[in-house]
Amino acid sequence: MMTYTETLDYLYSQLPMFSKVGSSAYKKDLHNTIALCNHIGNPQEKYKTIHVAGTNGKGSTSHMLAAILQKAGYKTGLYTSPHIKDFRERIRVNGEKISENFVVDFTERNKVIAKEVEPSFFEMTVAMAFEYFAEQEVDFAVIETGLGGLLDSTNIITPILSVITNIGYDHQNILGNTLEEIAIQKAGIIKQNTPVVIGETLPETKSIFLETALSKNASIQLAEENFITSYIDSEGELLLCNVSDVAENVTEKFRTGLSGLYQAKNICTVLAAVKELRKMDIKIPEAALHGGIEKVKEITGLRGRWEILQRHPTIIADVAHNKDGIQLIIDHLNINYSAAGLHFVLGFVKDKDVEDVLKLFPDNARFYFTNAHIPRAMLKEDLLAKAAAVGLFGGVYDTVDEAVNAAKAAADGTDVIMICGSFFILAESELL
């Protein structure tokens, strides 16, 4: 029997891992996941699931939904990816990470089928999550897609509700080069006769969602049209917002420890999803709705979303890594920290179209370029050159912490140091 450390080494080294090597690990069909889950008795059929996709916000939305269901008294599984610090972050029940013993046992029991099927790291992990949730006898499991939707390994489930947060440019090398192509992939989680909530639409994507839902006889709710925010502000490390349910003509005040201003959009998506769940006679009291949103970080262990790590100077970590995500960060800084000197600790993966992302950053900020120590990382020297080409200048640092320490040395007490660009940059920071 392997130890837990040996098991992780096996999972990371023997199975292709997208987060480390990129698109070569992506399997463009569901064959492997179907084979694995057939082998273990299709555990994903033993509990109700909610499926969440989208370019940005799907992690926060998944965590909020799981926290609300847990506060409502349901035993709730949560599958998300990637992890930041600990593999076990990916698979939780009522906020508690999967046990090391289960990870070891599942991997050991399925080595033979893994040799036959040759699954990716993600496919093996999805099957592990599905079996763990069945063993734990969860009432609900909130399942976040890994990449896309139609061909994502999670898309073998038959959910009671599908949620698509938004569409933006990311992973174009796999999902397509236009918003329409990307939307078609995400819309692949819409199932026959199963309601779907869409968080945000664009002119290029709205018709795709409406037509897909119609073809599947799936009722569709557009959250941005049904829930409107009239006030958004931050108070310390809390986000405050007023949200109106247009149909009910009711406005409620919400507070959340996810203090990024962009979370207001995710809250609207979550409220639309809860409204659909209540139509199914799933009891979700108002106290559970508000408590789950406010205490989501404590309930589910969510990290890396506008996470304030230190004050004087203010150090913030955010997993934003694509054009839309970075734009939301810049918008928040412009609104709440307009007078502060800005320092960005940046690192990206090499399959991102970083030239367009870099153009979003203010040229009067100071930059500290680094890279995560994985094969997929863009080398800090390459990032430095690409940044210089758009008028952004700074130094290169071998580690994230060296970059952060350099920023702290240069910053004064009123400045902001922003760490972003990749999950893997956050993973290598000692501050998290």
Using CB atoms within 10 A of its CB, is residue 383 exposed (0-12), middle (13-18) or buried (19+)?
buried
Asked if 4-300 and 307-427 have one fold, the answer is: no
Domains of the chain by residue range: 4-300, 307-427
Which phi and psi (to 5°) does residue 221 adopt?
-120, 125
Residue 47 · residue 139 · CB < 8 Å:
yes
233 contact partners, CB below 8 Å, separation of at least 6: 239, 240, 241
Structure-derived torsion over alpha carbons of residues 123, 125, 127, 132, reported in degrees to the nearest 10: -170
What is the C-alpha separation between 366 and 415, in angstroms, rounded? 11
Q: What confidence score (pLDDT) does residue 345 get?
A: 98
Structure tokens at 103: 């990870």
List 222's β-bridge partners, or say none. Answer: 198
Averaged over 12-17, what is the pLDDT?
A: 78
Structure tokens at 222: 């557009």
Q: What confidence score (pLDDT) does residue 142 get?
A: 98
User: What CA–CA distances, in Å, run from 5 to 106, 118, 119?
Assistant: 14, 21, 20
3-state SS class at 184: helix
Which phi and psi (to 5°) does residue 289 adopt?
-60, -50
Instruction: Encode 96-132 in three state secondary structure.
Output: EECCHHHHHHHHHHCHHHHHHHCCCHHHHHHHHHHHH
Average pLDDT of the chain to the nearest whole number: 93
Q: What is the pLDDT of residues 189-242, one digit of tens each?
A: 999 999 999 999 999 999 999 999 999 999 999 999 999 999 998 877 899 999
Q: What is the pLDDT of residues 237-247, one digit of tens each?
A: 899 999 999 99
What is the C-alpha separation between 110 and 189, in angstroms, rounded? 27
Residue 196 · residue 165 · CB < 8 Å:
no
Q: What confidence score (pLDDT) does residue 173 get?
A: 58
Residue 145 · residue 152 · CB < 8 Å:
yes
Residue 53 · residue 134 · CB < 8 Å:
no
Asked whether the predicted pLDDT for residue 18 surpasses 70, the reply is: no
100-109 helix and 4-14 helix, angle to the nearest 10 degrees: 50
Amino acid at site 140: F
- Measure the CA angle with vertex 302, ends 12 and 123; round to 5°: 30
Q: What confidence score (pLDDT) does residue 21 get?
A: 46
Amino acid at site 188: G
Asked whether the predicted pLDDT for residue 274 surpasses 50, the reply is: yes
Asked whether the predicted pLDDT for residue 280 surpasses 70, the reply is: yes
Asked whether the predicted pLDDT for residue 168 surpasses 60, the reply is: yes
Residue 110 · residue 40 · CB < 8 Å:
yes
Q: What is the pLDDT of residues 78-122, one digit of tens each?
A: 999 999 999 999 999 999 999 999 999 999 999 999 999 999 999
Query: Do the strands 314-317 and 307-310 form a parallel or antiparallel pair, or are they unpaired?
Result: antiparallel
Highest mean pLDDT among 16-20, 177-181, 387-391: 387-391
DSSP conformational letter for 155: G
Q: What confidence score (pLDDT) does residue 62 get?
A: 98
Asked whether the predicted pLDDT for residue 63 surpasses 60, the reply is: yes
List 221's β-bridge partners, or say none. Answer: 197
Q: What is the pLDDT of residues 313-360, one digit of tens each?
A: 999 999 999 999 999 999 999 999 999 999 999 999 987 789 999 999
213 contact partners, CB below 8 Å, separation of at least 6: 190, 196, 219, 220
Asked whether the predicted pLDDT for residue 41 surpasses 60, the reply is: yes
Q: What is the pLDDT of residues 127-150, one digit of tens each?
A: 999 999 999 999 999 999 998 899
Structure tokens at 89: 């972050």
DSSP string, 341-392: -EEEEE--BTTS-HHHHHTTS-TTSEEEE---SSTTBPPHHHHHHHHHHTT-
What is the C-alpha separation between 281 and 237, in angstroms, rounded? 34
CATH 3.90.1150.10 fits 307-427, yes or no: no
Helix H or strand E segment including 293: helix 286-294
Q: What confidence score (pLDDT) does residue 235 get?
A: 78
Using CB atoms within 10 A of its CB, is residue 329 exposed (0-12), middle (13-18) or buried (19+)?
buried
DSSP conformational letter for 225: H
147 contact partners, CB below 8 Å, separation of at least 6: 18, 26, 171, 174, 175
Topology of 4-300 in CATH? UDP-N-acetylmuramoyl-L-alanine:D-glutamate ligase (3.40.1190)
Helix H or strand E segment including 402: helix 400-410
Averaged over 53-74, what is the pLDDT?
A: 97
Chain position carrying tokens 């406010």: 294
Helix H or strand E segment including 419: strand 416-420
Q: What confidence score (pLDDT) does residue 172 get?
A: 58
pTM: 0.94
What is the C-alpha separation between 199 and 190, in angstroms, rounded? 14
264 contact partners, CB below 8 Å, separation of at least 6: 229, 232, 239, 241, 243
Q: What confidence score (pLDDT) does residue 26 get?
A: 47
Q: What confidence score (pLDDT) does residue 37 get?
A: 98
